[in-house]
Amino acid sequence: MFEFDQYLGFLAFLTILTIGFWLMIFLLTFVIPYWLTGNLIEFFKEKREARRAKRNGQ
Distance of alpha carbon 13 from alpha carbon 18, whole angstroms? 9
b/e sequence 19-34, b meaning 16+ C-beta within 10 Å? eeeeeeeeeeeeeeee
- How many Cβ atoms from other residues are within 10 Å of residue 55's Cβ? 8
Q: For the segment 1-58, what is each residue's pLDDT rounded down to a tens digit?
A: 779 999 999 999 999 999 999 999 999 999 999 999 999 999 999 999 999 999 987 6
pTM of this structure: 0.66
